[in-house]
Amino acid sequence: MIRATSAEAEETANLLNDLILRSQLLLENHPVNLKRAAAGKDKANSIWPWSPGYKPAMKTLLELYNLKSGSVISAVDLIRGIGVYAGLKVVEVEGITGLYNTNYEGKAQAAIEALRTDDFVYLHIEASDEAGHEGDVALKIKTIEYLDARVVKPILEEIVKWNEAVTIAILPDHPTPCATKTHTNKPVPFVIYRTGETPDNVQVYDEFAAEKGSYGLLKGMEFMKALIR
């Protein structure tokens, strides 16, 4: 159970403990749990709140970079929540899962439509990260190929028709090597495409080729400043 470390925290600790105990009663005979038990699977028997913190006081992404509007497209609640706090509106897409079987085409089309009206669109695809956590090399390769063919390609094919400058960045938020099945803090490769801009000499997108790119190694906010200039 959760224990308060001060008198001020006691009320919150009591509320959380009450929720935990009530969740156990609710989950015991929940239809999903009964179905799991019938299939020989473990039941989900309790909620467990974790990682509390304070709401930070900072400018939104729109305020920070003088943007009028923005959207976030993701199947991951964490990313959607960060997007909302950053001042972005959440775009709903049917059939998105956060896994290899997500609706790639639906996400790509949603990003295209959002780009028609918004200054900034954050399109997040979780599939390759999940494949890395599973340690499944073949699946991770497949998810990257899906991203390339079913998301990047249709978006690029559409925006080149527009009589308007568009900037696109492609990058992971962190490495998730299949060998370790967890996140690492190594630098990630990125591509920044701008309508009408002459590219540098890098012809391959991977960690090794990106080191030789014209941007070099960017840290912290340097990437966003390079992207939105």
Short-list 79, 73, 151, 172, CA closest to 114:
73
**13 and 106, same domain (yes or no):** no
**104 and 193, same domain (yes or no):** yes
Percent of the chain scoring above 90 in pLDDT? 85
**37 and 73, same domain (yes or no):** no
Q: What pLDDT does 56 receive?
A: 75
With both helix axes pointing from N to C terminus, report the angle between 127-134 and 137-147 in degrees, rounded to the nearest 10. Answer: 170
**28 and 48, same domain (yes or no):** yes
Q: What residue has token string 């009206």?
A: 117
**141 and 47, same domain (yes or no):** no
Give the model confidence (pLDDT) of 160-194 as tens digits.
999 999 999 999 999 999 999 999 999 999 999 99
Answer yes or no: is 120 within a domain: yes
Domain that holds residue 22: 9-53
Q: What pLDDT does 55 receive?
A: 73
Query: Is the pLDDT reported for residue 54 higher than 80?
Result: no
Model pTM?
0.78
Q: What pLDDT does 2 receive?
A: 65
Answer yes or no: is 3 within a domain: no
How many separate domains does the chain show? 2
Answer yes or no: is 218 within a domain: yes
Instruction: Output the six-digit token pair for 137.
Output: 């090399």
